Amino acid sequence: MKKGELANNPDIARLLAHCRVSDGARLRLDEHDPSHTGGFKLDHAEAEALLATGVARLSEMQEKLYAQDRYALILVLQAMDTAGKDGTIKHVLSGVNPQGVSVTSFKAPEPSELAHDFLWRVHRVLPRRGQIGILNRSHYEEVLVVRVHPEILARQRLPEASRGEHVWRERLRDIAAFETYLARQGMVVLKIFLNLSRAEQKRRLLARLEDPAKHWKFDPADLAERAHWDEYRHAYQEAIAATAAPHAPWLIIPADHKWFARLLVAAAIVEALEGLDLAYPTLDAAARGRLAQARKRLEGER
């Protein structure tokens, strides 16, 4: 895999198939190795060159997506802290026309968001047809961080009957139904879980502490969340298992090696777009006639 194209690469396709979860009935998150690289060893320059081919292909497909104006791609990025969500967005979407992409990063809900149902703040920022919408964290936070910290649920002013342990099962059903609805509207839902190991997270947190240029990235809250590692892993497994579907699959991407994670994410987006019948719009005879008249008029100018 040192040379060639990232798109339609049979080795990458095989790895993506291993990462894809379309039915979570038998999912065991611990069976997915965060350090896996499929036996490939690339130096920095080789990985960058291969990624560049994927970014170029993604740019081509995004132009057709935008021109056709029929489908939209919703890319959900979920991960533990330091797994590389921001870096993945930066490197993988670097060559895409900014007019056709939106990125929304979700933080703690604001008062206006808490006044609505839990899916409202996501639904209102979804991409229009022809665009790629990236959700840096998403509606899944409501069954992840809120599940690990149930005191957050108390601030959502829900009716008493809507609280309790059953809320997670119900919310997961709501999310699955929501994504089914989106798929029926021509929205391609692609969900990425950057699967980071606890040991690698420790290494990256220490790197932030040791490098003055990265001090701004360190948040003491990251250590508090790290203490809930096992609870988060359980919440992720439950969420992925309950919402994985052929029309809204999850990809559990090994994230201990950033170069490898970025290659797989780029390939996954290209694969999703190539699965659509994307093409530039064709013109009927009348429209072609108008173009001919426009050409004649322009060529006749002095």
**pLDDT tens-digit profile, the chain (302 residues):** 445 789 888 999 999 999 999 999 999 999 999 999 988 888 889 999 999 999 999 999 999 999 999 999 999 999 999 999 999 999 999 889 999 999 999 998 998 999 999 999 999 999 999 999 999 999 999 999 999 999 999 888 888 877 778 999 999 999 999 999 999 999 999 999 999 999 999 999 999 999 888 888 888 888 999 999 999 999 999 999 999 999 999 999 999 999 999 999 999 999 999 999 999 999 899 999 999 999 999 999 98
pLDDT of residue 3: 53
pLDDT of residue 2: 45
Regarding pTM above 0.85, the answer is yes
CA torsion angle 247 248 249 255 (round to 10):
150
258-274 and 85-92 are packed helices; what angle lies between their axes, rounded to 10 degrees? 60
Other beta carbons within 10 angstroms of residue 112's beta carbon come to 9
pLDDT of residue 39: 85
pLDDT of residue 292: 95
Q: Does domain 10-299 have CATH number 3.40.50.10490?
A: no
Whether residue 201 contacts residue 226, with contact meaning beta carbons closer than 8 Å, is answered with yes
H helical segments located in 244-276: 258-274
Please give the Cα distance from 96 to 102 (Å, whole number): 11
* Among candidate residues 103, 62, 109, the one with its CA nearest the CA of residue 86: 103
